[in-house]
Amino acid sequence: MAFGLPCVGVFGQAMEEIIRHEETGLLVPPEDSDALAKALARLLSQPALRQRMGEAARQRVAREFTWARVVERIAADLPGVVEHELAHYR
């Protein structure tokens, strides 16, 4: 995605948190080689779709997956995690 390419991933394995189906790439059912082949063939045969999804993917990475954003998300959750862990030792 950071290279401006749409991705193909699998439903149900946390890929939905990264790849937005039909926006930044395509998601297929797990262990479905026919669906995987169709998704790849679709992207290979449709340059405009590939370009649109690739650009959306690049923008999503630049917006959501920078180290600064990762630190923000972790920092927001950290006090609750620390408090939860400390409760085990009280």
**Alpha-carbon distance 38 to 70, whole Å?**
33
Chain-centroid distance, C-alpha 35: 19
Q: Which pLDDT does position 52 carry in this prediction?
A: 98
Give the DSSP letter of residue 65: S
**Alpha-carbon distance 36 to 61, whole Å?**
23
Domain boundaries, the chain: 7-87
Q: Are the beta carbons of 6 and 50 closer than 8 angstroms?
A: yes
Q: Which pLDDT does position 62 carry in this prediction?
A: 94
Mean pLDDT by 10 residues, the chain (90 residues): 97 93 98 98 98 98 90 86 83
**Alpha-carbon distance 83 to 51, whole Å?**
45
Q: Which pLDDT does position 85 carry in this prediction?
A: 85
